[in-house]
Structure 1
Amino acid sequence: MHLAAPTFILGAISWVLFIWWDRKKKASHPVHSVDKSTQALIRYDEYLLSSKEKVLSIFILAIPLSMIGYVFYKSMIMALLLSLLAILYPRYYQGHMIRLRKNKLNVQFKQALSCLSSSLSAGKSVETAFREALEDLRVLYPDPSCFIVHEFSIICRRMENGEPIEAALMDFSQRAHLEDAASFTDVFVTCKRTGGNLIEVMKRTSGIIGEKLEIKQDITVMIAQKKFESRVLLIAPILIVALLSFTSPEYMEPLYKGIGLIIMSLCLLLLAACGLLTHKIMNIKV
Structure 2
Amino acid sequence: MLMNYNIYRLKLLEVVRYLTEYTALALFISYLFYDSLKMAVLLLPGLAFYIDGRRKDLLLARKKELAKQFKDMIQAVATGMNAGYSVENSFREAYGDMVKLNGEDSLICREMKGFLREMEAGLSIEKVLLDFSLRSGVEEVKDFAEIFAIAKRSGGNFSEMIGRTVGIMQEKDETEREIEVMLSGKRYEQKIMGVIPLFIILYLKLGSGGFIYALYHNPAGTGVMSACLLVYFVSWLLARKIAFIEV
Please, what TM-score do these two structures have when normalized by structure 2? Answer: 0.93
- Write the distance in 1 (CA, Å) between the matches of 2:147 and 2:184: 35
> What is the correspondence of 1:260-279 to structure 2 with a 5 Å cutoff?
260-279=221-240
- Give 1:84 shift: 5.0
Paired residue for 1:201, among 161, 183, 187?
161
SS in 2 for 1:163: coil
Matched, 1:107 2:68: yes
**Contact 2:34 2:222 survives alignment (8 Å):** yes
Q: Output one character per residue of 1:76-108: Cα deviation in whole Å (capped at 9) or x when no partner.
A: 221332255233322111111111111111011
Partner of residue 214, structure 1: 174
Paired residue for 2:201, among 241, 255, 261?
241
Partner of residue 113, structure 2: 153
**Contact 1:44 1:102 survives alignment (8 Å):** yes
**Contact 2:190 2:243 survives alignment (8 Å):** no
Gaps of 5+ in 2: none
**Contact 1:59 1:86 survives alignment (8 Å):** no
**Contact 2:8 2:59 survives alignment (8 Å):** yes
Paired residue for 1:120, among 81, 88, 91?
81
SS in 1 for 2:52: helix
- Give 1:189 shift: 0.7
The one-letter code of the counterpart of 2:58 is M
- Write the distance in 1 (CA, Å) between the matches of 2:104 and 2:114: 12
- Write the distance in 1 (CA, Å) between the matches of 2:246 and 2:200: 34
Partner of residue 131, structure 1: 92
> What is the correspondence of 1:20-35 to structure 2 with a 5 Å cutoff?
none
- Write the distance in 2 (CA, Å) between the matches of 1:131 and 1:52: 36
Partner of residue 65, structure 1: 26
Partner of residue 185, structure 2: 225
Partner of residue 51, structure 2: 90
**Contact 2:78 2:159 survives alignment (8 Å):** yes
- Give 1:281 shift: 0.6
Q: 1:69 to 1:101 in 2, by over 3 A?
A: same
Q: Output one character per residue of 1:19-56: Cα deviation in whole Å (capped at 9) or x when no partner.
A: xxxxxxxxxxxxxxxxxxxxx11111111113332232
The one-letter code of the counterpart of 1:239 is F
- Write the distance in 1 (CA, Å) between the matches of 2:40 and 2:123: 59
Matched, 1:185 2:145: yes
**Contact 2:119 2:125 survives alignment (8 Å):** yes
Q: 1:251 to 1:139 in 2, by over 3 A?
A: closer
- Write the distance in 2 (CA, Å) between the matches of 1:164 and 1:221: 40
**Contact 2:187 2:244 survives alignment (8 Å):** no
SS in 2 for 1:220: helix
Matched, 1:176 2:173: no
The one-letter code of the counterpart of 2:34 is Y
Identify which range, 93-102 or 241-250, moves more after superposition: 241-250
What RMSD, in angstroms, separates the aligned Cα atoms of the two structures? 1.6
- Write the distance in 2 (CA, Å) between the matches of 1:284 and 1:210: 21
Superposition misfits of 4+ residues, deviation over 6 angstroms: none
State percent identity of aligned pairs.
Answer: 35
